[in-house]
Amino acid sequence: MYILLLALKMTWQNFAAAKLRTFLTVLGIIIGIASVVVVMSVGNSAQNVLLDQVRLIGSNLIAILPGASADNGPPAIAFGVVSTTLTSDDIDQIRDKNNFPHVLYAAGYTSTTKLVRYRKENASYEIQGISPDGINVENMNLATGRFFTEAENTALRRVAVIGSRAAGELFGNETPEGKMIRIGKANYRVIGTLKERGSSFAGDFDETVYVPLHTAQSTIMGINYLSFARIRVDDEKNIEKTKEDIRVLLKSRHKIPQSEEGDFSVRDLASAINILSSITNVMKYFLVTVASIALVVGGIGIMNMMLITLKKRVREIGLRIALGARGRDIALQFLVESVTISVMGGALGSLIGWGVAELVGIVANSRGVAWRVTQDAEIFVMAFGIAGVIGIVFGLYPAYKAMRVSPMEALRYE
Amino acid sequence: MVNSTHEKDILIDCKNLQKTFYTGGVETHALRDASCVIRRGEFVSIMGPSGSGKSTFMHLLSFLEEPTGGSYRFDGKDALAFDRKILARLRNQEIGFIFQAFNLLSKLTVHDNVELPLLYDFYTKGFSRSKEHKKRIAHALESVGLTHRAEYKAQYLSGGEKQRVAIARALVNNPKIIFADEPTGNLDSKAGLQVMKILQKLSADGHTIIMVTHEHSTARHASRILRLRDGVLERDEKVEDRLFATEMEELK
């Protein structure tokens, strides 16, 4: 303890004697640590933003896409293949509690884009035909009014529930409920509005107009198949089993032998989240590796400074040894100096990195991205750890050289 | 030369000490043959022209270098068997060095310079350690008459004062022996004389001192002179006409 205090005291004296050189050396570490902290912090935030969007939809969801495709690959529609085999009758079967005990809700979807008009206001919106169960599958919340019923769906009633921003744009301060809007060539009665949900890579929920599935299929699009279906199960752990049951059911309904590939694909969000996380993790650690190069350069700076210090102080070190300093006292002195430099750099670098990460968050928010700055304590613990390790690793060689100085150096007459 | 000496009075006993340097395949015999016995309390000068091996001899005696031949017993123990740990302890506890170039740390105060060996005193234990250290620093400064300069930075002192600080530093651990390497070499005659006066006083107080010098007048302040020539200890003589430094006398 006493030796450590002594080393710290001497470190302070030596830094005071070479302020500029010390500052420049610390600067190298500051830049390195700041880069790592920024990359880690911004990377984590970006990852969370992405995952937040996925979670907004829910992790106990299963999606059925028409057309065959690899489970983790792009859907068939991405290749221009329009498959017409998935129908709402398929979904009704899945809703059967006897065959699918874990399914809570199941909804079919079909969507298009149409001009929507209310009096003089008109704009293009996404029109989504959706089963009445859709409000529960999607976790949508009503702001006013109600969602449409199964009876309205079956009867092809022309009713609509509109997203929060679409409601604001079309109606301004007016109450939308009960008002008639024109979608394409027909009039629809607005029966409810939704609370704000935000946007995601899957589309802008707040600018969507929802109508009953069958109404949309027959009145707006003139089709009888689904764009996709979504199913919410009671628990994430039942996803795999339910997926398998769906595959068996759909193959038999579509008259495809069980041994063959289906004309649909069944996916779930939990695995999507995993795939997304692993991709973004690879990106993040790749960037951290790049940023670490700056740290290594900083470490070399420390070694350089310590070797110069050794050269300048070789006579003093020789004297100290001649007066009874042990090799380990001198080595410790050098290690304390190099670790002090790198930890100071680590502290300032973390602070700067933290500031930059916050700044990125402010800029992102001002651009309308739902950015949440994540400052994990572990990043800072790691930054300090790395700084300490750098100080030791790059201080070892100068320390070793210093402890081998001969006391004869003290006698050398200049 | 040595007669009726009690075994425990002997501090240094070396026989046929040799030191050969090998540089680039060339052998240099810095010291060929040196044997002597030095008792406690002696004040010995090592003399000789440059290249005679006098510095090498002192380096061997003060453990700064290892001999390549011969035997050396220090304080009854085989000095050639000392490891790094023992040497660090010896340097700290039993040896004091005085250098030609003073070797003070110029940015430290006189007090802090004298304190330096005590920082590496890992051997004095107990609560009284710092109290004991304070006492020793005060005593060492008093011995060289620099108590009033304690808080001065070393760099602002005159050469003579610097060497007196160095002597105080060598004294502070109460060593068994003090090695002085050309202690007056960088000083004017008046300052040199003052240093010799202090060394003689230390000798009178019972300290053992070994001093390397090439100046005859300086060497004659000791009680005994070892003369080297071409790496061989040629003569070992008692100083008959010993000089005693007073303020009046001039060195050189």
* Listed range (A68-72, A319-323, B5-9, B72-76) with the worst mean pLDDT: A68-72
- Are B106 and B155 in contact, with CB atoms under 8 Å apart? yes
CB-based contacts of B224, cutoff 8 Å, min separation 6 = B42, B43, B44, B45, B236, B237, B238, B239
Specify the pairing of strand A208-212 against strand A103-118: unpaired
DSSP string, A131-148: -TTHHHHTT--EEEE-PP
Dump pLDDT digits (tens) for B85-141.
999 999 999 999 998 888 898 888 999 999 999 989 888 887 788 888 999 999 999
Measured distance CA(A273)–CA(A281) in Å, rounded: 12
* Listed range (A50-64, A132-146, A311-325, B17-31) with the worst mean pLDDT: A50-64
DSSP H helical segments within A313-326, as ranges?
314-322
Query: Does B26 map to a domain?
Result: no
Contact: B97, A17; criterion CB under 8 Å: no
At B32, list the tokens. 């060929």
At A296, list the tokens. 């290594």
Q: What is the DSSP letter of A261?
A: P
Residue-level pLDDT at B251: 45
Min CA distance, B223 vs chain A (Å)? 25
How many contacts, defined by CB atoms under 8 Å, are there between A and B?
A: 59
- Is A321 touching B (CB cutoff 8 A)? yes
Min CA distance, A407 vs chain B (Å)? 6
Residue-level pLDDT at A29: 92
Q: What is the DSSP letter of B109?
A: B
- Is A5 touching B (CB cutoff 8 A)? no
For the CA atoms of chain A, what is the radius of gyration? Answer: 33
Query: Does B27 map to a domain?
Result: no
Which domain CATH number covers B121? 3.40.50.300
> Around Cβ A256, how many Cβ atoms within 10 Å?
17
At A43, list the tokens. 């990377």
Considering only residues 10 to 49 of chain A, which have any Cβ-Cβ distance to chain B shorter than 8 Å?
13, 17
At A238, list the tokens. 């039942």
φ/ψ of residue A234, rounded to 5: -70, -30
Measured distance CA(B124)–CA(B130) in Å, rounded: 9
* Nearest residue, CB atoms, B105 vs list A316, A406, A407: A316
Measured distance CA(A395)–CA(A143) in Å, rounded: 64
- pLDDT surpasses 80 at A75: no
Measured distance CA(B139)–CA(B127) in Å, rounded: 20
Measured distance CA(B171)–CA(B43) in Å, rounded: 15
Specify which residues A127 forms β-bridges with.
Answer: A112, A209
Query: Does B75 map to a domain?
Result: no
Residues B3-34, buried b or exposed e (16+ Cβ, 10 A)?
eeeeeeebbbbbeebbbeeeeeeeeebbbbbb
Using alpha carbons, select from B201, B197, B226, B198 the residue that is nearest to residue B211.
B226
Set of chain A residues whose Cβ sits within 8 Å of the Cβ of B180: none
Measured distance CA(B212)–CA(B217) in Å, rounded: 12
Q: What is the mean pLDDT of residues A259-269?
A: 85
Interface test with A, best of B50, B84, B91 (most A CBs within 10 A): B91
- Is A201 touching B (CB cutoff 8 A)? no
- pLDDT surpasses 70 at B5: no
- Is A411 touching B (CB cutoff 8 A)? yes
For B121, nearest residue in chain A (alpha carbons): A324
Min CA distance, B120 vs chain A (Å)? 5
- pLDDT surpasses 80 at A78: no
- The overall average pLDDT reported for chain A is 87
* Listed range (A260-274, A337-351, B52-66, B211-225) with the worst mean pLDDT: A260-274
At B81, list the tokens. 């068997």
Give me the domain span that covers residue B45.
41-66+90-238
Which residue numbers of B have CB closer than 8 Å to A's CBs? 55, 59, 64-65, 84-85, 88-89, 91-93, 97, 99-101, 103, 105, 107, 116-117, 119-122, 169, 173, 181
Please, what is the angle between helix A2-17 and helix A19-57, to 10°? 110
Min CA distance, B4 vs chain A (Å)? 34
Q: What is the mean pLDDT of residues A254-278?
A: 83
pTM above 0.80, yes or no: no
Helix (H) or strand (E) holding B89: helix B84-93
* Nearest residue, CB atoms, B120 vs list A17, A315, A323: A323
Query: Does B17 map to a domain?
Result: no
Query: Does B227 map to a domain?
Result: yes
Specify the amino acid at residue B41.
G
- pLDDT surpasses 60 at B249: no
- Confidence class of residue A71 from pLDDT cuts 50, 70 and 90? low
- Confidence class of residue B222 from pLDDT cuts 50, 70 and 90? very high
Query: Does B194 map to a domain?
Result: yes
- pLDDT surpasses 70 at A294: yes
Contact: B91, A413; criterion CB under 8 Å: no
Helix (H) or strand (E) holding A189: strand A186-194
Query: Does B81 map to a domain?
Result: no
Residue-level pLDDT at A72: 62
Contact: B101, A329; criterion CB under 8 Å: no
- Confidence class of residue A368 from pLDDT cuts 50, 70 and 90? confident
Residue-level pLDDT at A412: 72
Q: What is the mean pLDDT of residues A114-125?
A: 88
Specify the amino acid at residue A389.
V
Measured distance CA(A127)–CA(B213) in Å, rounded: 105
ipTM of the complex: 0.90
Residue-level pLDDT at B210: 96
Q: How far is CA A304 from CA A10, A19, A20, A24, A314, in A?
A: 19, 16, 14, 11, 15
> Around Cβ B42, how many Cβ atoms within 10 Å?
19
- Are B97 and B62 in contact, with CB atoms under 8 Å apart? yes
Residue-level pLDDT at A74: 66
For B173, nearest residue in chain A (alpha carbons): A323
Query: Does B51 map to a domain?
Result: yes
Q: In this prediction, what percent of chain A has a pLDDT beyond 90?
A: 38
- Is A1 touching B (CB cutoff 8 A)? no
Provide the domain count of chain B.
1
Count CA within 13 A, CB hemisphere, residue A221.
21
Q: In this prediction, what percent of chain B has a pLDDT beyond 70?
A: 96
Residue-level pLDDT at A5: 82
- pLDDT surpasses 90 at A213: yes
Residue-level pLDDT at B1: 46
* Nearest residue, CB atoms, B64 vs list A6, A327, A407: A407
